[in-house]
């Protein structure tokens, strides 16, 4: 992937890309950008790969490992213009909260990989996880500016966003989905 990342070209990282709905959405809306779909589960990667073949989209690269391993492999500063994390595993049990991806440490780890004024987009349908994310945002307020900091702007359905499998599950279960947009402070 190192050779594919060009500091002058728009590069978008889709963490936990699942079956690829968001990666495909991003690729279609950003045809000149490189989309890196990062997913550890093989089934999701196979589904995305099959959709790429069918749709003849060629601006998506798959990384089939943990995002931390991607960062270790890149060792480049200022790679990404956007980072998307839609519906990460909420790890609902208290004893598993340490496994949650979106924490203050995540923001500190990703910060050097973001270009100036880069954006991070996060969504969740877990109120518990949302509270944890909001706490993390408070802890890293010197690194990122919260773009849509009013609750009426958090509504996933009011944004131009993909209808992912997890969004549909939340909707079918009458759970609201929240959407957060952060901007890197340089």
Active site residues: 89
Residue 16: name the closest of 87, 120, 111 by CA.
Answer: 87
Exposure b/e, 75-94, CB count within 10 A at least 16 = b: eeebbbbbbbbbbbebbeee
The three-class DSSP label of residue 181 is strand
C-alpha–C-alpha distance, residues 85 and 170, integer Å: 16
Cα-Cα-Cα-Cα dihedral of 34, 40, 46, 50, to 10°?
-20
- Token pair, residue 161, equals 């966003």
φ, ψ of residue 28 in degrees (nearest 5): -70, -35
Burial class (CB in 10 A: 0-12, 13-18, 19+), 71: middle
């Amino acid at each position: 992937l190192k050779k594919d990342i060009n500091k002058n070209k728009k590069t978008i990282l889709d963490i936990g890309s699942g079956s690829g709905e968001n990666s495909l959405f991003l690729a279609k809306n950003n045809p000149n950008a490189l989309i890196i779909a990062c997913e550890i589960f093989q089934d999701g990667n196979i589904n995305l790969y099959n959709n790429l073949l069918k749709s003849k989209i060629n601006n998506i690269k798959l990384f089939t490992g943990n995002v931390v391993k991607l960062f270790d492999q890149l060792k480049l500063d200022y790679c990404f213009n956007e980072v998307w994390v839609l519906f990460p595993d909420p790890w609902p049990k208290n004893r598993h909260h340490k496994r949650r991806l979106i924490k203050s440490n995540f923001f500190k780890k990703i910060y050097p990989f973001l270009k100036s004024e880069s954006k991070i987009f996060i969504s969740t349908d877990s109120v518990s996880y949302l509270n944890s994310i909001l706490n993390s945002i408070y802890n890293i307020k010197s690194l990122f500016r919260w773009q849509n900091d009013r609750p009426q702007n958090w509504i996933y359905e009011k944004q131009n966003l993909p209808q992912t499998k997890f969004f549909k599950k939340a909707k079918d279960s009458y759970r609201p989905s929240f959407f957060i947009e952060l901007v890197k402070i340089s």
